[in-house]
Structures are given as structure tokens and as C-alpha cells.
A = this chain, B = another copy of it.
Amino acid sequence: MKRGVGQGGYSLREKIFLKLRQDILDGKYKAGDSLVEMKLAEEMGVSRTPVREAIRQLELEGLVYSIPNKGVFVEGITSQDIEDIYAIRECMEGLAARWAIERMDEQSLKELENLCELMEFYTGKGDLDRVGELNSKFHDLIFESTNSKPLKQILSDFQYYIGNIRLASLKSPGRAEQSLSEHKAIVEAFKDRDVEKGERALVEHIRNTRLNYEKMRRD
């Protein structure tokens, strides 16, 4: 039998989960919208089963809430949530920096440096979408290097949640250049294996990102 959606290595459920999450984060479904299993299933040309499973996962992530026998509704994330996430990250990325600097191997360090150079290149070219991508990889690499499952999980989720925000923030004038120099400082500290400096640099970076977001929101 020919499969409708599930080509790319992932299972249908996985693909649907990612798609729905992206759609919610993109605002395609607004808070309060109801997600009807059958409707979604038809739209994607699959049965209800994988849709259900995807929705259950969204529920656990807190992006939707479900009222038994009634329906499931989009929760979305508020700007309050985003501010909270930045505050939390400010704490946790410090921890991440500490652990990563202690545990990161030479190869990952090289890769980190490389990512930073690529960011410089694309920042120069003004391709900010690409820069945003690299930015994600940069931080993901740090999370990965902490070698801490709990920390990794939290920060990766958060990263995904605020991905769009961060991209928008990156496009505000001057921010990309500032962000770049902050990343350079982080790489510097990592190369020196200087925990104190790295922690400061990373926390500072998050802090500036948050401030920029708040400034952007005011306009």
C-alpha cells in the first residue's frame, strides 16, 4: 500500500506531530481553536489514529488541552509565556555553559567555531533565515555537549517554542550584528575552557535576546 504522508523516514504520527506543532507555533491555529481529529485526518489524507497520537503528544507538551468527549483546543503560547521562557533560559543556559565547557570534546568545539564563522558569513550577506538556522544549531550543539538528558530536553523544547520569535528578533536593525559578536565571545570562552567567562557570555547573550524581544514588543 502507498503511504500518503510518511515518506521522509519518520512515521506518520511523527510527521503529523511536527506539522501540527509548527502550525500552532506559526499561529495557523489560534488559541481557543478546536482541533477535530476527523477534519485533520481528512485534510492530511490519513486516518484518525496517527492524528490522535500526535494530539496526545501536543497535549503533554501543553500546547493543546483536551476536554474529554468534547474536543481538544489550542492553548498556544502567550507573550507572558515567552518572557517566562527567556527568564528560565537565563538561569539554565548558565548551567548549560558550565557543563558544556567542562565536557565538550575537541571536535564539537571545532564545529561550534565553524558554525560561528558561517553565521558571520551569512550575517554579512544578510541571509537572516540562514543565520537563524545556524543559531539554532549553535545552541543545540551546546545543549548536546552538556551530556545532560534533562537539560537538553528542556532547552531544546524551549528553543523550538520561541524559534519564530527569535527569528523575528534577529531581523530587528542591528540585532544580527550584536548577536554575532555575542556568539563570538561565547566561542572564545569555550576555546579557553573558561567556565566563568563562558557562563557570563551565554547568560548575557540570552539576556540581550530577551531585552531585544521586549523592545520589539513595545514598538
Contact = CB atoms under 8 A, between A and B. Distances in A.
A153 to B, nearest CB: 6
B91 A87 contact: no
A151 B84 contact: yes
A216 interface: no
Given A148-B84, A149-B84, A151-B84, A13 B92 contact: no
25 contacts: A11-B68, A13-B56, A49-B49, A53-B53, A53-B56, A56-B57, A57-B57, A60-B60, A60-B61, A62-B149, A62-B153, A80-B148, A81-B148, A81-B149, A81-B150, A84-B150, A87-B95, A88-B92, A88-B95, A88-B151, A91-B92, A91-B95, A92-B92, A150-B158, A154-B154
Question: Interface residues of A: mostly helix, strand, loop or mixed?
Answer: helix
User: How many residues of A sit at the interface, in one of the four size bands?
Assistant: 20 to 34
